[in-house]
Structure 1
Amino acid sequence: MNSEQIQQLIAEMTLEEKVGQLTQFAGVFYSTHENDTPLTGRIDFPVNETIIEASGSVLGIAGAKKLIDIQEMHLQKSRLKIPLLFMADVINGYETIFPIPLGLGSTWDPELVEELQAVSAKEAASAGLHVSFAPMVDLVRDPRWGRVMESTGEDPYLNEQFAEATVRGLQGSDLLHNMDHIAACVKHFAAYGAAEAGRDYNTVDLSERELREMHMPAYIAALNAGVKLVMTAFNTVHSIPASANTQLLRGMLRKEYGFDGVVISDYGAVQELIPHGVAENEEEAAEKALRAGVDIDMMSLCYAQSLSELIHEKKLDESLLDEAVERILQLKNDLGLFEDPYRATSEEREQATLGHASHKQLARKAAEKSAVLLKNENVLPLQDRERLALIGPYADNNDLLGEWSIFGKMEDTATLKDKLEPTFYAKGAEMYERNQKLLDEALHIANQADIIVLALGEGRDRSGEGRSRASITLAPCQIELAKKLKELGKPIVVTLFNARPLDLSELEPYVDAILECWHPGSEGAAAIINLLFGKANPSGKLTMSFPRATGQIPVYYNSYQTGRPLPAGSDERFFSRYIDIANEPLYPFGFGLSYAAFEYSQLRATNLNLQKTETLTVEVDVTNTSDVAGEEIVQLYLQDPVAEVVRPVKELKGFKKILLAPHETKTITFEINEEMLRYHHSDLTYSSDPGTFFVYINGSSKCDEANKLELQLIHS
């Protein structure tokens, strides 16, 4: 179907049929099949059969048989035979589940993420889905927010790389003809990750300079990668909810960034303009949202019950409605749904695709690459001859898939105990509650072992949407278990399963090693065993800082310079500092250990004067000083010490993942150009200033002054 045919179709549609295209409801309203998809908002509104039959898209239901039946029934009743769009949250896999996005970020491997998102798309497409609500690219600095699990962290540059990779992986290069890909929807536009106090659905209050400098780059990267949809955020932007924010949607998104795809609200966000206090009723909410540029009203009746009347009363021009309908029909056309409403979906194709052996192999690789070794006092890797005691509430727990793995099969997921087959096993504690009997049993069996593998963490019920926490420590019963086991004098290795950075300050002194496993996905248990025994070497690095205390939040590596920075080693009072803990996080952005050891030396540049129109090359030698091969993530940071506005103490501007054989040295090269030194000035112009800049190359954001260069940017 071409553009002229789409226009002709719109001309044939009634007002009610047009409004229907702008509404989306959950699959529970369409299907008699069992539907256990989580609903993230109210569902008790009076949806009638007329509204359902007119709607243009369906939320949160999948499965070839289900969706074929729904589409077939819909087309039988549709006067103009306009097919439905099926959308769902396919965040880190469909049936084959990969590590949560925060874990995927820790791979520092966009190519791997693109590959596994292509697998996610292939599985989802075989199950009849057309759109995934991914990537979530919100920059996050507050781990109290439950949705940090969906983010790739606290850095705008790294988030850009993963935003592009996810869009490429999901959509492919030819969405129309390649049925193994689906449309991507970037979310949440904009700045949802900056919700006050880390509390979901809460206020966001940012200056426009901060919004553009830190939060917008990843959204822009997704747009530049060709993402088909944008989802509005629940929060305010400059005191106006995103779903009613004309400046944000029609101004910044469409006019400035040139986005011409579909804008969809988050679940119930149009109706929520009423409790926000910017709309008196559903009619006003619908009017404001459509004027602002929201094309699809997800899970509310505002559009369905109000738009026709608003147009009849001349409060809205029908041209606004037609624009939205055209964008929705164009998306359906881009997916080839007018020619094949089922998009080659079949039960046979689904059965042949889901759970393919190659998908599981990739999931295991991703889980190995995402784990971060936070501590290792010469206890890892484990030796086969050691008598192991596997203890902890996560030892025999298959809750490894993460909160948004809504189509994954937890019941088919192996546990650590399944894969480790330990000499001794004890639960030791409930996940969140103390149990003396379990504790006594664990102490008894641990005393017979050479080494203890202690599986701790928090389940999917403590993270994800609507699960913000005021305190991000492990449960007291788990800390007690670690302390009691320490008294036995045995080496303790912690495998940590969680979906946010945690305050580990109370745990860390009592254990000899900590392997951050995240919620690692379908093949997580097998991957962790490989890591524990050295069959795989940990290579992950944090993309979000781990605080020393909840009260330290937000703590992030690219903080702004202050007028009273604390001198190194100083405990004087009148500086920017805490008097009870260090300023630095327990584990910083970019940090992660390996069984190998790496040394950086000889940082050098071809020229220390960078002309505005030229490129400067910097090099560093990285040596593996150990007897085992290992991967290292070499990180380039820049600092602008004097600028028109206060600048971050450092900013990530590049990284390279390298493999080094034992005692091998490689020279790693980065190019620096003037564009990398630009920033948003006070008047929001985006440019660089001539002058001094510092260059750091290291294995984490805690940069060594020995690997530092000073260069001059020259404009003339």
Structure 2
Amino acid sequence: MDTNKQSAFRDLNKNGRLDPYEDPSRPIDERVDDLLAQMTLEEKAGLMFHTILGVASDGSLAAAGFGGSPEEMVNGKLMNHFNVHGLPAPRLAAEWHNRLQALAEATRLGIPVTVSSDPRHGFSSNPVVSLTSGGFSQWPEPIGLGAIGDAALTEQFGEIARQEYTAVGIRVALHPMADLATEPRWARINGTFGEDATLSAQQTAAYIRGFQGAALGPASVACMTKHFPGGGPQKDGEDPHFAYGREQVYPGDNFDYHLGPFEAAFAAGTSQIMPYYGMPVGLKYEEVGFGFSKEIVTGLLREHYGFDGLVCTDWGLINDAEIMGKPFPARAWGVEDLTPLERMQKALDAGVDQFGGEDCPELIVALVRSGAISESRIDVSARRILREKFRLGLFDTPYVDPDAAERVVGSADFLAAGAAAQRRAFVLLKNGADAAPVLPLAGRPRMYVEGIAPEVASEYGEVVSSPRAADFAIVRLQAPFDPRNGSFLESFFHAGDLRFKPDVLGRLIALMAQLPTIVDIYLDRPAIIPELAAGSAALLANFGASDAALLDVLFGRAAPGGTLPFELPSSQEAVLRQRSDVPFDTGDPLFPFGFGLRYSAGSEQ
């Protein structure tokens, strides 16, 4: 099969003519109607599942660790929506994508595959929700874009990420997160733009414009904005990936505040929406996970907001799974007592179109055959899904150019733009005392470093092995969290106490008492750091930045340009008193939302 040919006219039927759905000159609605009329129930059901598919390191279609093989998924289950995690080098990724499209093109109707991805341009390494950048340009996490607060830059990021995604065939972004970071203990804050609804709304809209453009089309990456109607107000800050975090609570009666960023997403034309796992408690809504709630999906999203795009559940609502040899129950919060078949029926009745992380189309077939769900209801979702594929141009240009993938992904200009954003996102929290700034550093001081690659630091000064021999200590830290000993996946979610453990804090205090110490903290969520604020010579926060980015800022080659996208609490007691759905609510914060000091690039002491 010629995978370089890019025209729907390449495959004529036996009568020597095109079916109307193959003709790119026809209106999309006509093409959808024609194709839908030819589909079997099994083919329609296959459209409605969107699961993980592993990518072989050599770009072949060999099974690669997640679920079944591509052949089983495409030919056996008739599925054509897949979420990819790890990718090989850009050329191999593009070649894998083309082989997958060729496999799909050989099916009875030749429905192309839609490939999706979680965020892959940042620094996080949580395989459940985000991926390290690999060969893609590397940017601060979304929370860092919130710290910069520049909608034009966020749109530029989206445009660059769109080009890198499309180069390897990724056409759906399982992001942005329009959730608000109003509960400081929540483990997913780094994927948000912060706790302020106005800032998040601006950033969310810009992000979508960058990925999708003015309107969804053949050059777009469709955005699946999440997690409607707003994750974030989690009870005790726990995440609903796990049963102990299933409840969302609103002690401040502030549910509507969390809708603001989604309203901006609708105005920007977001193509898709993902409801969250969370189960609202104490509201007027049924106490079930949002993906099972007809009041939320149909009532609020469809009817109130008039959203007619694709709604896909979060991953794994229906069936229990096993990950790394350990059981991982379905996130069927509030409907745990239902069977997988009953859960699916409830989600369909709620109004969802696709099931994320599932590969069981036989359940939909069974629901229709039994009369529990009408085929006309399945047609409603199938029509939305097909319309999306046609708008993205997948029926007409399913293949990508491996040569272009090599040129585009991680190009010099894209890498430079991401590196500049890393530097700009730093927040300067303290710079000396009594009008005697420590930063920027001058000359080539003797430096004792922790958490920094010595070979990088040696380009800026003399690296010494003992604090006693140093002019300055420079220490990079990760925001504290409580390690979990449950499932394999729990280890990737940084939740719990926001304070450093006594042994860690004691050692840092001793170091700061010994010599001037510059502290940089990666804030994937807030931290309680009064001792560091008091004892450090200078204090910075980053949201995903290389060692070179930090040192460029410390030595004045770049200027810190961020402000805090969330407040830093003064104590754990203040965190326990705050209301999880209300922003700026920890009471007398150590550093308030929007705080950030400045100095200019190139300035000297």
Please give the residue correspondences for 1:181-192 in structure 2 after superposition, counting only pairs within 5 Å. Answer: 181-192=220-231
Which deviates the most, 3-12 or 383-392? 383-392
How far does residue 193 in structure 1 lie from its aligned partner after superposition? 1.0
Partner of 2:428: 373
Higher relative contact order (Cα pairs below 8 Å, separated by 6+ residues): 2
Partner of 2:548: 526
Distance change in 2, residues 1:454/1:37 (3 Å): farther
Partner of 2:322: none
Partner of 2:118: 89
Distance in 1, Cα, partners of 2:270 & 2:335 = 32
Three-state SS of the structure 2 residue aligned to 1:25 is: strand
Distance in 1, Cα, partners of 2:234 & 2:64 = 23
Distance in 1, Cα, partners of 2:426 & 2:55 = 40
Three-state SS of the structure 2 residue aligned to 1:193 is: coil
1:167 to 196, 208, 226: 208
Three-state SS of the structure 2 residue aligned to 1:487 is: helix
Distance in 2, Cα, partners of 1:221 & 1:462 = 36
How far does residue 382 in structure 1 lie from its aligned partner after superposition? 3.4
* Larger strand fraction of residues: 1
Partner of 2:164: 123
Distance change in 2, residues 1:453/1:298 (3 Å): same
Partner of 1:449: 470
> Is this contact kept in 2: 1:144–1:470, CA < 8 A?
yes
Whether 1:114 and 2:169 are equivalent positions in the alignment is no
Please give the residue correspondences for 1:268-279 in structure 2 after superposition, counting only pairs within 5 Å. Answer: 268-271=316-319, 272=330, 274=332, 276-277=334-335
Distance change in 2, residues 1:422/1:497 (3 Å): farther
1:261 to 309, 333, 338: 309
- Deviation readout 1:61-108 (Å, 9 max, x if unpaired): 4521211111112222x1101111101112545511100111111001
- Deviation readout 1:499-556 (Å, 9 max, x if unpaired): 1111112322221110112222xxx333322211122222211111111223322658
Distance in 2, Cα, partners of 1:288 & 1:544 = 37
Distance in 2, Cα, partners of 1:508 & 1:197 = 26
Partner of 1:145: 186
Whether 1:391 and 2:449 are equivalent positions in the alignment is yes
Which deviates the most, 292-301 or 316-325? 292-301
Distance in 1, Cα, partners of 2:64 & 2:470 = 42
Partner of 2:98: 68
How far does residue 3 in structure 1 lie from its aligned partner after superposition? 0.6
Distance change in 2, residues 1:211/1:52 (3 Å): farther
Please give the residue correspondences for 1:269-668 in structure 2 after superposition, counting only pairs within 5 Å. Answer: 269-271=317-319, 272=330, 274=332, 276-277=334-335, 280-301=338-359, 304-342=361-399, 345-377=400-432, 378-392=436-450, 394-396=451-453, 417-418=456-457, 420-426=459-465, 445-458=466-479, 467-488=493-514, 490-520=515-545, 524-553=546-575, 555=578, 583-595=587-599
How far does residue 273 in structure 1 lie from its aligned partner after superposition? 6.0
Distance change in 2, residues 1:30/1:73 (3 Å): farther
How far does residue 494 in structure 1 lie from its aligned partner after superposition? 1.0
Distance in 2, Cα, partners of 1:49 & 1:336 = 22
How far does residue 226 in structure 1 lie from its aligned partner after superposition? 0.5
Distance in 1, Cα, partners of 2:481 & 2:120 = 14
Three-state SS of the structure 1 residue aligned to 2:507 is: helix
Partner of 1:210: 254
Partner of 2:327: none
Distance change in 2, residues 1:198/1:190 (3 Å): same
TM-score, normalised relative to structure 1: 0.68
Distance change in 2, residues 1:317/1:293 (3 Å): same
Distance change in 2, residues 1:275/1:175 (3 Å): closer
Structure 1 residue identity aligned to 2:149: W
> Is this contact kept in 2: 1:545–1:585, CA < 8 A?
yes
How far does residue 425 in structure 1 lie from its aligned partner after superposition? 4.0
Three-state SS of the structure 2 residue aligned to 1:134 is: coil
Structure 2 residue identity aligned to 1:89: D
Distance change in 2, residues 1:336/1:48 (3 Å): closer
Structure 2 residue identity aligned to 1:90: P
How far does residue 33 in structure 1 lie from its aligned partner after superposition? 4.7
Distance in 2, Cα, partners of 1:120 & 1:20 = 29
Three-state SS of the structure 2 residue aligned to 1:86 is: strand
Structure 1 residue identity aligned to 2:383: E
Distance change in 2, residues 1:590/1:38 (3 Å): farther
Distance in 2, Cα, partners of 1:385 & 1:360 = 28
How far does residue 27 in structure 1 lie from its aligned partner after superposition? 1.1
Partner of 2:125: none
Three-state SS of the structure 2 residue aligned to 1:506 is: helix
2:40 to 4, 14, 19: 14
Partner of 1:54: 78
Distance change in 2, residues 1:420/1:382 (3 Å): farther
> Is this contact kept in 2: 1:121–1:170, CA < 8 A?
yes
Distance in 2, Cα, partners of 1:32 & 1:279 = 43
Distance in 1, Cα, partners of 2:378 & 2:288 = 22
How far does residue 346 in structure 1 lie from its aligned partner after superposition? 1.7
Q: State, as a whole percentage, how many aligned pairs show the same letter.
A: 26
Distance in 1, Cα, partners of 2:41 & 2:526 = 49
How far does residue 557 in structure 1 lie from its aligned partner after superposition? 12
Distance in 2, Cα, partners of 1:352 & 1:130 = 18
Distance change in 2, residues 1:12/1:29 (3 Å): farther
* Larger helix fraction of residues: 2
- Deviation readout 1:437-479 (Å, 9 max, x if unpaired): xxxxxxxx22222222222225999799851422122354542
Distance in 1, Cα, partners of 2:270 & 2:603 = 38
Distance in 2, Cα, partners of 1:114 & 1:274 = 35
> Is this contact kept in 2: 1:457–1:474, CA < 8 A?
no
> Is this contact kept in 2: 1:204–1:236, CA < 8 A?
yes
Distance change in 2, residues 1:32/1:351 (3 Å): closer
> Is this contact kept in 2: 1:53–1:74, CA < 8 A?
no
Distance change in 2, residues 1:371/1:561 (3 Å): closer
Whether 1:224 and 2:245 are equivalent positions in the alignment is no
Distance change in 2, residues 1:335/1:585 (3 Å): same
Three-state SS of the structure 1 residue aligned to 2:531 is: coil
> Is this contact kept in 1: 2:232–2:581, CA < 8 A?
no
> Is this contact kept in 2: 1:183–1:227, CA < 8 A?
yes
CA RMSD of superposed structures (Å) = 3.3
Gap runs ≥5 in structure 2: 1-23, 88-92, 123-132, 320-329
Distance in 1, Cα, partners of 2:501 & 2:61 = 33
Partner of 1:80: 109
> Is this contact kept in 2: 1:92–1:101, CA < 8 A?
no
Distance in 1, Cα, partners of 2:482 & 2:457 = 23
Distance in 2, Cα, partners of 1:159 & 1:250 = 24
Distance in 1, Cα, partners of 2:98 & 2:500 = 45
> Is this contact kept in 1: 2:292–2:347, CA < 8 A?
yes
